[in-house]
Amino acid sequence: MSDAAPTSIPPYLVHTVFQYILPPSLPLPPHLLSRNLAERHHFLSISASDTEEYLCWPSEDASKAVDALEHGQHESEAEYHVRYTAPDLETLLAHVQPNDRSQVQIVFSWDDETRTWKYHDTRLMPFPKTSFVSLEEALAQRPRVGPGSRSASPLSDGYWDGYGSEDDSQRMSVPPNIVTEDDEKAEAAYWASYGAVQGRNIRRINLAIQLIPHRLWRLNNPFSKTPPTTPRRTRLPIYEQ
pLDDT one-digit tens code per residue, 228-240? 554 454 444 544 4
pLDDT at 142: 82
pLDDT at 196: 46
pLDDT at 222: 53
pLDDT at 215: 57
pLDDT at 66 over 60: yes
Of 119-128, 199-208, 217-226, which one has max mean pLDDT?
Answer: 119-128
pLDDT above 90 as % of the chain = 50
Asked if residues 106 and 69 have their Cβ atoms less than 8 Å apart, the reply is no
Phi, psi torsion values for 236, nearest 5 degrees: -110, 100
Question: Residues 6 or more apart from 99 whose CB is under 8 A from it?
Answer: 73, 74, 75, 77, 79, 80, 81
Encode pLDDT of 13-58 as tens digits: 999 999 999 999 999 999 999 999 999 999 999 999 999 999 999 9
pLDDT at 134: 96
Cα(50)–Cα(15) distance, rounded to whole angstroms? Answer: 23
Asked if residues 91 and 2 have their Cβ atoms less than 8 Å apart, the reply is no
Confidence of residue 4 (pLDDT cuts 50, 70, 90): confident
pLDDT at 232: 52
What does each C-alpha distance from 98 to 11, 21, 31 come to in angstroms?
A: 11, 11, 21
pLDDT at 191 over 80: no
Mean pLDDT for the stretch of residues 103-121: 97
- Of 15-24, 123-132, 213-222, the least confident: 213-222
What does each C-alpha distance from 180 to 173, 177, 197 come to in angstroms?
A: 20, 10, 26
